[in-house]
Structure 1
Amino acid sequence: MRVRLEKLRKRLAEYQVDVMLVSKPENIRYLSGFTGSSGVLIVGPRETFLLTDFCYAEQARGEAPQCNICVKRNSDSDEFIAVLRDIGSRTVGFESHFVTVKDHDELAKKISGITLKPLAQVVERLRAVKEEEEVACITKAARLGDAAFSHILPFIKPGVTEKELALELEFFMIKNGAEKVGFDIIVAFGARSSMPHARTSDEKLYPGEFIKMDFGAVYKGYHADMTRTVILGRTTKRQREIYRLVCEAQELALSKISAGQVGKEADEIARFCIRKAGYDENFGHNLGHGLGLEIHEIPVLGPRSEDLLEAGMTFTVEPGIYIPGFGGVRVEDSVVLKKDGVKVLTGSTKELLEL
């Protein structure tokens, strides 16, 4: 934690900021270790203060021993001001992408002689390049996803519902060590699989249909994400062609993505493959997104992304083709970027399974 805080302090000096208010829970956890839902971190030039309420005071002392713990007695802004004045703050940075206009305005009214400076995604950019321990947690989360995929296959039978499969996936991952699932699990059958983020329903499964499953475990706060698409019964020629094309696009991207590219360059590797086959209009989302304490982080691998890809970043690679009335295929892996290319953390087969 101390190394992370020192990196942040160096960034703050570049922005000519004395102190930073950190309000976003994932950023508080990253910088202090505190996992409670009520807290604000004040990062000063030499000391760090964690403001929380009585319900989390004991937890904060245990999880964030390097912080000065302040238990709130009055409003948040009153506590902010007392600490800020004690440490002689003049320019205070705040997370402008997270703090509401209302909270900003209320704090600004009570401050005299202190300037509030908006800083967007400063901590998130520190979080983008992962430490070895963070990659280990994401790897463990990916393995839980792999185990869940193997577990769910025998449950895929005629008449099962999307919700039943989603619940079984969730139960299995939590029972086997996941802190929780990373997002609402997506299970979509048949023509409904053409919706990239279909809402899981009571729809029943029939032979010949695609089964698209997008799910992920959280381990010690860190997310993994995977999608696999399988078939109940025998595949048709068109189903096999679409599936093959998605896999080819993904494999090409996995082999060509490298440190030093920007997000749009990585995205174009897979998108060119799909465009060349005539399905450009059927691949309407980004190729991937960062993974970590949040399910969507920096970097973005998309057509407009200028995010620089660096060794140590973790993200998804997930091309897809979605055809209304026919169905959709997505194949998604969690990966970590190394100096010599991509290392895939998801281990589940990408063979088109006929169940």
Structure 2
Amino acid sequence: MNQRLTKLMNWMKTEDIPFSFITSSENVFYLTGFRSDPHERLLGVAIFQEAEPFLVCPKMEVTDAQNSGWAYEVVGYTDIENPWEMIQSRVNSRINNTQQIAVEKQHLNVERYEELSTRFPSATFVSAEAKLEQLRMIKDEKELASLKKAAEYADYAIKVGTEAIQEGKSELEILAEIEFEMKKKGIAEMSFSTMVLTGANAASPHGIPGATKVQKGDLVLFDLGVVYEGYCSDITRTVAFGEINDKQREIYETVLKAEQAAIAAVKPGITAKEIDLIARSIIADAGYGEYFPHRLGHGLGISVHEFPSITETNELVLQEGMVFTIEPGIYVPGVAGVRIEDDVYVTSTGSQILTSFPKELLFV
């Protein structure tokens, strides 16, 4: 039994939960080693206090699941079979008590909830999210190695993007060059939709790249990440195309100062709240507080956005093994949009920055 399953099973014993049914692709991968995107089809892993677990997936993926290292039963179903009947029979053959079922309440849709309720009518449902978040929050050495490699590829993608900038080239053209080069490197998947935003568009924190062309005097914002061995990176850099004005430079230097100060403060024992407020106060003192509308960062791992959230209200104490982003930004409509983001690992004494592309203002 792998350590992750054992930890979840021990939690189930402590909480007197006889049966967990985990259905998100991310948590199935975390617990089983099997990475799958089943689309609309059901994917799940059933876990018990003592009985042997089983994995359920589309029949076309059974061999892949077995080859992933999963050592227990794999239940495959075709598109004309009802997987819930298979699940019910296997659960009933393993345990008699289904008074409580742990599920991911944020992921389980109504249809699947109704299936479980119908087949296990005496059950009440409890949330497995908090425990799974806690387990995934602390990365082991293998996870850290994958995250470091994902960060290296993200650094390279930023390099490709900055070198692709030319006057008159559109955001989408630059984006296409980045993703083409990543495919050539063997990266099959970006961790989210790549962002290349120029000029006024960069002042939208979640802008959508389009046909806007780069012009002299623009700040160009890149926000991207890759998936490597199931783990995500996430980096943002903002660069100057030609000469920029004093206000743009001031905004950039303020964001850089805030980001560097927050990273310098990272260590076990400090709270997420304190880290956020360090960066936020620098931006506010410079007169741009209202233009920093989002949290300082978010956890990073199998999902590009996971626990913990680095916000000004989160009292969570940082621990060795956490990995999260630090990404302050200032977005002034009609003036400039700047964000600088790194992936940070909490060490025993401080932090290690996984992303390494230079942050001093780059002119291209």
TM-score (norm 1): 0.96
Deviation at 1:113, TM superposition (A): 4.2
Could you say if the C-alpha distance between residues 30 and 137 of structure 1 is closer, same or farther in structure 2, counting changes exceeding 3 Å? Answer: same
What residue in structure 1 maps to residue 204 of structure 2?
Answer: 195
Residue 61 of structure 2 corresponds to which residue in structure 1?
56
User: CA-to-partner distance for each residue in 1:281-329, whole Å, 9 max, x for gaps?
Assistant: 0101110011111100011101222333211011111111110111211
CA–CA distance in 2 between the matches of 1:182 and 1:86?
39
Name the residue aligned to 2:47: 43
Report the secondary structure of 1:196's partner residue. Answer: coil
Partner of 2:337: 328
Q: Deviations over 1:148-189 (max 9, x none)?
A: 222232321100100011111112222213231111111111
1:144 counterpart (128, 137, 153): 153
* 1:127 matched to 2:136: yes
Letter in 1 for 2:44: V
Is residue 2:216 matched to residue 1:207?
Answer: yes
Distance 2:36 2:189 in 1: 15
Matches within 5 A, 1:64-79: 64-72=69-77, 74-79=81-86
Alpha-carbon offset, residue 101 of structure 1: 2.2
In structure 1, distance between residues paired with 2:67 and 2:156: 33
Deviation at 1:65, TM superposition (A): 3.1
CA distance in 1, matches of 2:192, 2:27: 19
Equivalent residues of 2:324, 2:345 under 8 A apart: yes
Give SS of 2:139's match.
Answer: coil
Distance 2:111 2:301 in 1: 29
Secondary structure (helix, strand or coil) at the match of 2:163 reads helix
1:6 matched residue in structure 2: 6
Aligned residue runs from structure 1 range 138-177, under 5 A: 138-177=147-186
Letter in 2 for 1:65: W
Counterparts in 2 of 1:234-249, with a 5 A limit?
234-249=243-258
Judge conservation of contact 2:299–2:309 (CA < 8 Å) in 1.
yes
CA spacing shift, 1:306–1:81, aligned 2, 3 Å = farther
How well do the aligned residues superpose, as a CA RMSD in angstroms?
1.5
Which residue identity does 2:110 align to in structure 1? V
Match of 2:275 in 1: 266
Is the contact between residue 174 and residue 181 of structure 1 (CA under 8 Å) also seen in structure 2? no
Contact 1:187 1:213 in 2 (8 A): yes
2:111 aligned with 1:107: no
Counting only pairs closer than 5 Å after superposition, residues 305-316 of structure 1 correspond to structure 2 as 305-316=314-325
Query: What residue number does 2:347 align with?
Result: 338
Q: State whether structure 2 residue 285 is matched by structure 1 residue 276.
A: yes
Residue type at the aligned position of 1:83: R
SS of 1:284's partner is coil
Can you give the 5+ residue segments of structure 1 that lack an aligned partner in the other structure?
A: none
Aligned residues: 355
CA deviations on 1:65-123 (whole Å, 9 max, x unpaired) are 32211223642322221121111143321111110122212321222444433333422
The answer to whether the 8 Å contact 2:162/2:239 transfers is no
Pick from 91, 106, 117: which aligns with 1:84? 91
- Counterpart CA distance in 1 for 2:10 and 2:60 is 33
The one-letter code of the counterpart of 1:23 is T
Alpha carbons 1:158, 1:206 under 8 Å: kept: yes
Query: Runs of 5+ in structure 2 lacking a partner?
Result: none
User: Could you tell me whether the CA contact under 8 Å between 2:190 and 2:226 is conserved in 1?
Assistant: yes
After TM superposition, the runs of 4+ consecutive aligned structure 1 residues lying more than 4 A away are none
How far apart in 2 are the matches of 1:36 and 1:318? 29
> Is the Cα contact below 8 Å between 1:166 and 1:186 reproduced in 2?
yes
Q: By how many angstroms is 1:217 displaced? A: 1.1
Shift in CA distance, 228/52, structure 1 to aligned 2, threshold 3 Å: same
SS at match of 2:117: helix
Partner of 1:286: 295
Distance in 2 (alpha carbons) for counterparts of 1:330 and 1:116:
41
Q: Any idea what the Cα deviations from partners look like across 1:188-234, whole Å, max 9, x if unmatched?
A: 11111110111001101110011011011110110011011011111
- What is the aligned-residue identity percentage? 34
Q: Tell me how far apart the structure 1 counterparts of residues 126 and 162 of structure 2 sit (CA, whole Å).
A: 52
Q: Is the Cα–Cα contact under 8 Å of residues 258 and 342 in structure 1 kept in the other structure? A: yes
CA distance in 2 between partners of 1:254 and 1:299 (Å) = 16
8 Å CA contact retained: 1:300, 1:307: no
- Does 2:328 align with 1:319? yes
Provide the C-alpha distance between the structure 2 equivalents of 1:113 and 1:188, rounded to a whole number of angstroms. 53
Cα distance in 2 for residues equivalent to 1:180 and 1:12? 34
